[in-house]
Amino acid sequence: MPERYGAAPRYNIARGQTVLVGEPMRWGLLAPWRGHGGKRGPMTYVVPHDALDATPQLRKATRMRVPADGFFAWRKVGSKRVPYWIHPPERTQFTGISTTHDDNIESFAIVMVPAAALVAPIDAVMPRIVGTLDGWRADAVSNWVNDLAHDDARCIAPLGNPAQGELF
């Protein structure tokens, strides 16, 4: 997702990476427990909206807005997964939560909701958008995005004829 806050554009942000969301934060809330033998606990990258009040860790987290240019979702077609770049005409914001754990790293997770009509043929869930889906598009993109070493505009380049305005 292109990131424009004075930093180089980002087109392929992965879970666990540090992202500039107003300030640098790790994408992934670290569990408050460390696990056995000094191992790190699992990270939470996305949170179902109906789980926000279900656990102490999520109840204590700070609500935030995550700036974004869109998101990727993968549609299963037979045995393949086809990536889609789902995006608005202009920058938007997702609902997120953030916290700082005893590792002193600020981190965040994105709140997920059931997919809207535009996204439902591709995936069952999507980030909670601040605002509406007016003008959003879902463009099939190449498998270039499937490699985290690829972080350039080819990740979001639509396949076929984007002027058609069709999902499939």
The answer to whether position 106 is within a domain reads yes
Q: What is the pTM of this model?
A: 0.84
Domain of residue 128, residue span: 18-160
pLDDT in tens, the chain (168 residues): 454 445 788 999 989 899 899 889 999 987 665 555 556 667 889 999 999 988 887 888 899 999 999 999 999 999 999 999 999 999 999 999 998 866 677 899 999 999 999 999 999 999 999 989 999 999 999 999 999 999 999 999 999 754 454 454
The answer to whether position 145 is within a domain reads yes
The answer to whether position 167 is within a domain reads no
The answer to whether position 50 is within a domain reads yes
The answer to whether position 105 is within a domain reads yes
The answer to whether position 9 is within a domain reads no
The answer to whether position 55 is within a domain reads yes
Rg (C-alpha) for the chain, rounded Å, is 17
Give the count of domains, the chain: 1
Bridge-based pairing of strands 46-48 and 106-114 is: parallel
The answer to whether position 3 is within a domain reads no
Q: Where residue 119 sits, what CATH number does that domain have?
A: 3.90.1680.10
Residue 38, phi then psi, degrees to nearest 5 = 80, 5
**Separation of alpha carbons 137 and 105, rounded Å:** 34
Output the CA torsion sign for 119, 126, 11, 75: negative
